[in-house]
């Protein structure tokens, strides 16, 4: 039986990741591809259904993103969301125009047809609208199935060709029955099977790795984080002792981290793990470098050079296994998404690298990886370990990296983490750490003037790192952290708390 697969075409909407998450939560596999994917590539992907995302453009403008018109021929069931619906209307002979009022926020929508997309949906249902264009004229053979005060065509369909369009965003939780509407598309309309489970992922992935690597050898970059640990376990399941894991101490790790990682992994879980000390190599390459993207690229480069040395010494690995996740790929920039930051393991790889990559988690979100980790027997404290970026403290020190700044940051970070771990017993805070913004301030300590570094405390809540909200930590906790930082860390005389969410900020400062 072939697996149900949904293709999501990306027109640049803010919530595209959420569309994919919702579909996968319903246990249907999906991938996001750029809007201009060719029909041949679509045929190769062989989707059971296609979803068109929203996007900032207007279809009637020159240069607006367009997909192949063949998508609307009836060969595949299609759900167009916002821009996606407007494009469908534009292609099939309807009309799209700028509305006199922009509509952004939740509204009450009236459903007029309760078959198909709106099966068992309330007659009046709350949905999120985010648009300034509307559809005064639907194409021939289309019916309007929902409307609101402001939007006469909130949903349309051509039932016989299985073409559906909705103006609202079903993927956000603000659309109260959004999940049910997506499920109606997947299961009532497209008859898909809910066959995407982490058990099936493990089974098919291990088989794919066996086919890819065969009896050749591989090295895995093991960081101690959940992603690379899970990648290593999957590859180990497939090729056994032909896998060597390399943990690199690049001098940018947190306090005691190298020791803790080796204690957790050396001789455990059946993995063969070695540590390579490369502090000097990294720090000398980073000397004098202040630009964040430059730092990231240098680090990505050095990682690979170390893996090559390790492979030569310990097993001539032809493959490099990395714990790359879907968000790493998307945030590093794709055809449709701009580069926010080059993740060292994606855009930061050197061009002359000879390894072939094996990245079994490349299409997964973090929470999916954690489920896979639990199923593979990874201990719970490693499954729930908070993310730590591969470039380490280098991207938490603004400006040039020096031994002195690293030492200050390690001590500060250890205090921030200790205090928040003690307070946050039920693990509501997703990630927390200290940052050295590179600012100096004047203070008074013991009646003397000081001129020292500022430490910023960062703590956020998140599901998958794609969006994040700054954590509302209690004042008492912030007060305790501030006092400890200034009293216990030499060279620090001021503490600030970062109250920026993502977007518009990012979690890390660089
Ligand atoms: N110190 C390191 N030594 C070896 N490989 C590393 C190191 N740091 C990062 N990597 C490699 O880069 C990949 C990406 O790093 P990233 O931090 O995203 O993942 P992770 O460390 O496995 O998990 P987490 O995101 O939870 O920290 C890792 O999966 C791993 O393959
Ligand atoms: O392995 C990594 N290599 C990187 O280059 C990198 N940059 C950010 N991060 C982690 O990703 C999540 C989102 O971070 P940002 O909001 O800063 O983009 C957060 O959890 C960050 O810690 C990285 N992880
Ligand atoms: N969110 C969207 O997809 C917006 C689509 C289109 N640009 C509009 O404003 O109507
Ligand atoms: Mg990490």
Look at strands 143-147 and 218-221 and give their pairing.
Answer: unpaired
Per-residue model confidence (pLDDT) at position 355: 95
Centre of ligand 3 from the C-alpha of residue 25, in Å: 25
Q: State the pLDDT confidence band at 438, using cuts at 50, 70 and 90.
A: very high
pTM for the full model? 0.83
Q: What is the DSSP string of 289-348?
A: ---HHHHHHHHHHHHHHHHHHHHHHHT--SEEE----HHHHHHT--SSSPPS---TTTTT
Per residue in 76-125, pLDDT (tens digit) is 999 999 999 999 999 999 999 999 888 888 899 999 999 999 999 999 99
Q: Whose CA is nearest to atom 5 of ligand 3?
A: 83
Chain segment 30-46, per-residue pLDDT in tens: 998 999 999 999 999 99
In the structure, what pLDDT confidence band is assigned to residue 306 with cuts at 50, 70 and 90? very high
pLDDT at 314: 81
Angle value at C-alpha 408, between 405 and 413, nearest 5 degrees: 120
More confident residue, 463 or 449: 449
Annotated binding-site residue numbers for ATP: 223-229
ipTM for the complex shown: 0.90
Q: What is the Å distance from ligand 1's center to 391 Cα? A: 9
Distance 373 CA to ligand 4 centre (A): 15
- The reported pLDDT for the residue numbered 335 is 64
Query: Residue 337 corresponds to which tokens in the numbers above?
Result: 């998404």
pLDDT score for 1: 60
Return the closest-CA partner of residue 146 out of 184, 193, 172, 198: 184
| Shortest-distance atom of ligand 1 to CA 386 | 26
From CA 53, how far away is CA 448, in angstroms rounded?
Answer: 60
Q: Is the pLDDT of residue 281 over 90?
A: yes
* Residue 80 three-state SS: strand
Q: What is the pLDDT of residue 18?
A: 87
| 82 is a catalytic site residue | yes
- DSSP for 336-380, please give it: SSPPS---TTTTTS-TT--PEEE-TTTT--HHHHHHHHHHTT--H
Q: Which residues share a beta bridge with 442?
A: 451
* CA–CA gap between residue 456 and residue 396 (Å, rounded): 10
Residue 348 has pLDDT above 80, yes or no: no
Question: What are the tens digits of pLDDT across the range 467-509?
Answer: 789 999 999 999 999 999 999 999 999 999 999 998 789 999 9
Q: What gap in Å lies between CA 281 and CA 290, rounded to an integer? A: 17
In contact, 52 and 81? CB cutoff 8 Å: yes
State yes or no: pLDDT of 400 exceeds 90: yes
Q: Is the pLDDT of residue 163 over 70?
A: yes
pLDDT, mean of residues 256-274: 95
Residue recorded with tokens 């995302």: 53
Q: In this predicted structure, what is the pLDDT of residue 336?
A: 65
Q: Is 381 a catalytic residue?
A: no
- Spell out which residues line ligand 2, taking CB within 6 angstroms: 296, 331, 341, 343-344, 387, 389-391, 431, 465, 502, 506-508
What's the confidence (pLDDT) of residue 25? 92
- The answer, yes or no, to whether residue 2 has pLDDT greater than 90, is no
My answer on whether omega of the bond before 504 falls inside 30° of 0, hence cis, is yes
Nearest CA to ligand 1 atom 19: 227
Question: How far from chain centre, in Å, is Cα 190?
Answer: 27
- Cα of 186 vs centre of ligand 1, distance in Å, is 35
pLDDT in tens, 197-242: 999 899 999 999 999 999 999 999 999 999 999 999 999 999 999 9
CA angle 312, 314, 316 (to 5 degrees): 45
Chain-centre distance for alpha carbon 456: 24
Question: Is pLDDT at 359 greater than 80 in this prediction?
Answer: yes
Cis peptide before 435 (omega within 30 of 0): no
Q: What is the mean pLDDT of the chain?
A: 94
Task: Please answer whether residues 90 and 96 qualify as being in contact, where contact means their C-beta atoms are separated by less than 8 angstroms.
Answer: yes
What is the reported pLDDT for 464? 76
Spatial distance between the Cα atoms of 223 and 386, rounded to a whole number of angstroms: 12
CB 393 within 8 A of CB 238: no
Classify 384 as helix, strand or coil: coil
Counting other chains too, the contacts that 420-424 makes at CB distance below 8 Å and 24 or more residues apart are 420/459, 420/473, 420/477, 420/481, 423/473, 423/474, 423/477
Query: Which of the 8 DSSP states describes residue 280?
Result: H
Separation CA 397–CA 406 (nearest Å)? 8
Atom of ligand 2 nearest to the CA of 225: 1
CA proximity to 348, closest of 231, 202, 221, 246: 221
| % of the chain exceeding 70 in pLDDT | 98
Mean pLDDT to the nearest integer, 170-181: 93
Q: What per-residue confidence (pLDDT) applies to 465?
A: 82
Mutation choice for ligand 3 from 128, 133, 152, CB with most ligand atoms inside 8 A: 133
Quick check: 281 and 309 in contact, CB under 8 A?
no
Q: Which of 82, 220, 245, 358 is catalytic?
A: 82
pLDDT of residue 69: 96
Going 170 to 174 to 180 to 183, the CA torsion angle's sign is: positive
Residues 325/331/336/338 CA torsion (nearest 10 deg): -160
Q: Pseudo-torsion of CA 119, 120, 124, 125, nearest 10°?
A: -90
The side-by-side arrangement of strands in the sheet containing 218-221 is 273-277, 243-249, 218-221, 319-321, 356-358
pLDDT higher at 414 or 17: 414
358 is catalytic: no
Atom of ligand 3 nearest to the CA of 102: 9
Question: What gap in Å lies between CA 331 and CA 506, rounded to an integer?
Answer: 11
* Domains in the chain: ranges and CATH: 5-189 (3.40.50.880), 198-383 (3.40.50.620), 402-497 (3.30.300.10)
Which of the ligands is closest to the CA of residue 230?
1
Q: Which helix (H) or strand (E) holds 185?
A: none
Q: Which of 131, 169, 236, 344 is catalytic?
A: 169
Feature table: binding site: 223-229
Tell whether omega for the bond before 437 is within 30 degrees of 0, i.e. cis.
no
> According to the model, what pLDDT value does residue 337 have?
63
56 vs 14 pLDDT, higher one: 56
Cβ atoms of 385 and 369 within 8 Å: the answer is no
CA 452 to chain centre: 36
> What is the DSSP code (8-state) at residue 28?
-
The closest alpha carbon to 407, from 251, 250, 248, 247, belongs to 251
**What per-residue confidence (pLDDT) applies to 334?**
65
Say yes or no: CB of residue 248 within 6 Å of ligand 1: yes
Query: How far apart are the C-alpha atoms of 419 and 195, rounded to whole Å?
Result: 42
485 lines ligand 1 (CB under 6 A): no
């Amino acid at each position: 039986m072939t697996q149900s697969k949904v293709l999501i075409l990306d027109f640049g909407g803010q919530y595209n990741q959420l569309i994919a998450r919702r579909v996968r939560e319903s246990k249907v596999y999906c991938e996001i591809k750029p809007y201009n994917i060719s029909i041949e590539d679509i045929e190769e992907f062989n989707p059971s259904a296609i979803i068109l995302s929203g996007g900032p453009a207007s279809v009637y403008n020159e240069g607006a993103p367009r997909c192949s018109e063949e998508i609307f021929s009836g060969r595949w069931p299609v759900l167009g969301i916002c821009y996606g619906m407007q494009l469908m209307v534009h292609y099939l002979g309807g009309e799209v125009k700028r509305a006199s009022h922009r509509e952004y926020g939740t509204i009450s929508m009236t459903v007029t047809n309760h078959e198909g997309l709106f099966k068992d949906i309330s007659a009046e249902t709350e949905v999120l609208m985010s648009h300034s264009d509307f559809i005064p004229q639907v194409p021939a053979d289309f019916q309007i199935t929902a409307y609101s005060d402001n939007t006469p065509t909130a949903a349309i369909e051509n039932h016989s060709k299985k073409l559906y369009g909705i103006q609202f965003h079903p993927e956000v939780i603000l659309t109260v029955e959004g999940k049910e509407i997506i499920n109606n598309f997947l299961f009532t309309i497209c008859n898909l099977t809910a066959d995407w489970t982490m058990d099936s992922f493990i089974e098919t992935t291990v088989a794919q790795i066996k086919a890819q690597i065969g009896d050749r050898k591989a090295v895995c970059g093991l960081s101690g984080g959940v992603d690379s640990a899970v990648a290593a376990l999957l590859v180990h399941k497939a090729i056994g002792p032909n896998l060597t894991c390399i943990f690199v101490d690049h001098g940018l790790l947190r306090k005691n981290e190298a020791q803790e990682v080796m204690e957790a992994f050396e001789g455990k879980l059946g993995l063969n793990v070695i540590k390579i000390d490369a502090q000097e190599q990294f720090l000398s390459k980073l000397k004098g470098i202040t630009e964040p993207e430059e730092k990231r690229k240098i680090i990505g480069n050095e990682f690979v050079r170390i893996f090559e040395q390790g492979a030569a010494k310990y097993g001539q690995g032809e493959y490099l296994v990395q714990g790359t996740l879907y968000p790493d790929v998307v945030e590093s920039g794709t055809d449709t998404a701009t580069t926010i930051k080059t993740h060292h393991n994606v855009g930061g790889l050197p061009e002359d690298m000879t390894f072939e990559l094996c990245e079994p988690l490349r299409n997964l979100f973090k929470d999916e990886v954690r489920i896979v980790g639990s199923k593979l027997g990874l201990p719970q404290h490693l499954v729930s370990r908070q993310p730590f970026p591969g470039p380490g403290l280098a991207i938490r020190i603004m400006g040039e990296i020096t031994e002195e700044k690293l030492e200050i940051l390690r001590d500060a970070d250890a205090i921030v983490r200790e205090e928040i771990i003690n307070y946050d017993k039920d693990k509501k805070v997703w990630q927390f750490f200290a940052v050295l913004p590179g600012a100096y301030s004047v203070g008074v300590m013991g009646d003397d003037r000081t001129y020292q570094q500022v430490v910023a405390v960062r703590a956020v809540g998140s599901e998958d790192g794609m969006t994040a909200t700054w954590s509302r930590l209690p004042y008492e906790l912030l007060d305790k952290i501030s006092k400890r930082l200034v009293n216990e860390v030499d060279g620090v005389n001021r503490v600030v708390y970062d109250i920026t969410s993502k977007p518009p900020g990012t979690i890390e400062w660089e």
